[in-house]
Structure 1
């Protein structure tokens, strides 16, 4: 499936098409000579110039996220995303773009449910992509800044999925094929409220759903909206992992989160998600 994904990629320097060169080291090459070698873990870093001003998730944050997701705590969300995507990925050559793929867990569930699909995974964190490339070796896993123009051809993608990641509606609309869908997962008010009150986590603001719809207007029409509540009963290090794997990990050390939790042995809370599926709409000129 990797060749199908590569066919949809475009060189970030000249917008040329890529081919895979298997000599010595796996390399993406465009006709004008720009080349990007795969890291030993299997991902490609396409960022050029000064890179990005945005802070990527650290190795420790990524490890916490992998442990938490490996334990299956968010399996209902993974399955819900895969269910929404599967209707658009049922033909050979269909393509899913996971914008903010992280450790690749959500994309793995999508690909298991839609075995005919090829995949591209983008993330700013090389630490996350090391794990994503191991989990999804058939995907094109790329270091990329989602606020930049995506290194993907126009009208090339059947599904764009964005799970707790930045949203670039103009670029998502550009790369989606007519009839494709954009799946966005965001937290609802009250998400992990019992943990947020203890672990230095940011609370979810009211009106977030309305702001999401406003951001997408002009590019997409919202077709389907679902809410999903996932009860969680966590113990020990799982509690710290959940707090540390999110935004709190950017401004608190793990030891500081542990201190805020006061050695709590168990925690019951609820993860509250909104899943929004958008279809293509009028694009802004």
Structure 2
């Protein structure tokens, strides 16, 4: 199983250091081992996705193990699903590969793909985790054939339900992770005058049945530098004033709660 062309949607075949489709569209493999399947006409900006600074902050925070319980929970969900030795799984919005490589290591014999719109994140991921096949691509135009994936993992990443239904095999799985109502309340309290709970989960995936819901929450004890890295990797970093960054950086310890919602969907036959 390999990629499909993002321009004409025909299968891509690897020839040495390039992927080529029957229409002769060609995509070269970078020296780090990933392939860029995001044509210029599909970009919304010159360098979409996380910047190098954001990627490095996320890698530092994740490498410290603060979100490992979330990663372990998803690994356990994947292990509990029936599969085969030639199964294919895809991590959408994989960033620098923290979750993706754990999926590959836990599911020996499976082919694991990681996809992100950020070139700098995929370059770092491919350099560090050669056991995963990484690509730069849009999560709204998945460069894979119909019914080609046994499971797709989507941690905080957007993706059209129609694309998930197209790419996942009948009987296959989509595993999503989203913020629970009280996720990062203490961090938000430094930024907003009124802290609102995240809205409860209401997502519906056409073509899928929700088979399992898991609530996961725990307290984190962060160093000031880790709290800064956490803020930098969140969407509300743009709202944080200079004094918030300074306050976090000066703390010897910052307690912050997590609240994750994991949902396991099965594709209808």
Compute the TM-score of the two structures, normalised by the length of structure 2. Answer: 0.91
Distance 1:202 1:162 in 2: 29
Distance 1:252 1:39 in 2: 36
Name which of structure 1's ranges 10-19 and 219-228 shifts more when overlaid on structure 2. 10-19
Distance 1:136 1:204 in 2: 38
State the Cα distance separating 1:51 from its structure 2 match. 3.2
2:252 is aligned with 1:265: yes
Deviations 1:226-260 (A, max 9, x none): 011132000120010011012134x3689665235
Distance 1:195 1:12 in 2: 39
State the Cα distance separating 1:64 from its structure 2 match. 0.5
Compute the TM-score of the two structures, normalised by the length of structure 1. Answer: 0.86
State the Cα distance separating 1:154 from its structure 2 match. 0.7
State the Cα distance separating 1:40 from its structure 2 match. 2.6
Q: Return closer, same or farther for 1:97/1:240 CA change in 2, 3 Å cut-off.
A: same
Distance 1:89 1:254 in 2: 48
Distance 2:243 2:41 in 1: 32
1:221 to 170, 193, 209: 209
Distance 2:194 2:232 in 1: 12
2:3 is aligned with 1:9: yes
2:150 is aligned with 1:158: yes
Name which of structure 1's ranges 52-61 and 64-73 shifts more when overlaid on structure 2. 52-61
Paired residue total: 267
2:115 to 122, 136, 146: 122
State the Cα distance separating 1:89 from its structure 2 match. 6.5
Q: Return closer, same or farther for 1:245/1:232 CA change in 2, 3 Å cut-off.
A: same
Distance 2:134 2:198 in 1: 34
Q: Return closer, same or farther for 1:201/1:79 CA change in 2, 3 Å cut-off.
A: farther
Q: Return closer, same or farther for 1:115/1:261 CA change in 2, 3 Å cut-off.
A: same
Alignment-derived partner of residue 201 in structure 2: 209
Alignment-derived partner of residue 4 in structure 1: none
1:142 to 113, 130, 135: 135
1:27 to 18, 24, 44: 18
Q: Structure 2 regions of 5+ residues with no counterpart?
A: none
Q: Structure 1 regions of 5+ residues with no counterpart?
A: 1-6
Deviations 1:17-75 (A, max 9, x none): 122222xxx21112221111122322211111423226411111110000111111111
Alignment-derived partner of residue 237 in structure 1: 225
Q: Is the 8 A contact 2:179 2:198 kept in 1?
A: no
SS in 2 for 1:8: coil
Distance 1:176 1:280 in 2: 7
State the Cα distance separating 1:11 from its structure 2 match. 0.8
Alignment-derived partner of residue 60 in structure 1: 53
